[in-house]
């Protein structure tokens, strides 16, 4: 049974950097893409970006200039950094793993609420 556990700072000031990490337990870490998704309070889902085993990343163009997703295969972890946050970045952030050979997200983290406020 695969489990994703995520953590990171939950309260940021405008212009600071959002930093989250997601660890994968159980199952296989390799041969799966991994994504980050966010959900503003009371709203729908927004795909942020993904990373492959080889560290190849694809980002949502709306966030690309501020976004870095990275991978640490030795620790079975992947991370998200979003620079220069504003109140518009306030959301519940999820990490998720793709089904092997598909873009379906079959395992999700518990979510981390990140609030940006002065």
The only residue of 44, 54, 88, 118 in contact with other proteins, by rule CB under 8 A: 44
The only residue of 3, 10, 17, 45 in contact with other proteins, by rule CB under 8 A: 45
Distances from the Cα of 109 to the Cα of 41, 64, 93, 118, angstroms:
17, 22, 9, 27
Q: 29 or 59: whose CB is closer to other proteins?
A: 59
Q: 17 or 62: whose CB is closer to other proteins?
A: 62
Of residues 70-89, those binding other proteins (CB under 8 A): none
Cβ within 8 Å of residue 43, ≥6 positions away = none
Stretch that binds other proteins, among 16-24, 68-76, 78-86, 99-107 (CB under 8 A): 99-107
Residues near other proteins (CB under 8 A): 35, 37, 44-47, 58-62, 94, 99, 102-106, 108-111
């Amino acid at each position: 049974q695969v489990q994703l556990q995520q953590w990171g700072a939950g309260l940021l000031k405008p212009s600071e950097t959002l930093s989250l990490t997601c660890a994968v337990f159980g199952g296989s870490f390799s041969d799966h893409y991994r994504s980050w998704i966010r959900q503003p309070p009371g709203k729908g889902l927004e795909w942020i970006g993904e990373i492959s085993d080889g560290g190849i990343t694809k980002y949502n163009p709306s966030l690309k200039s501020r976004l870095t997703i990275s991978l640490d295969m030795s620790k079975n972890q992947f991370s998200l950094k979003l620079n220069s946050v504003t109140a518009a970045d306030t959301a519940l952030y999820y990490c998720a793993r793709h089904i092997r050979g598909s873009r379906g997200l079959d395992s999700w983290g518990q979510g981390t609420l990140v609030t940006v406020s002065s």
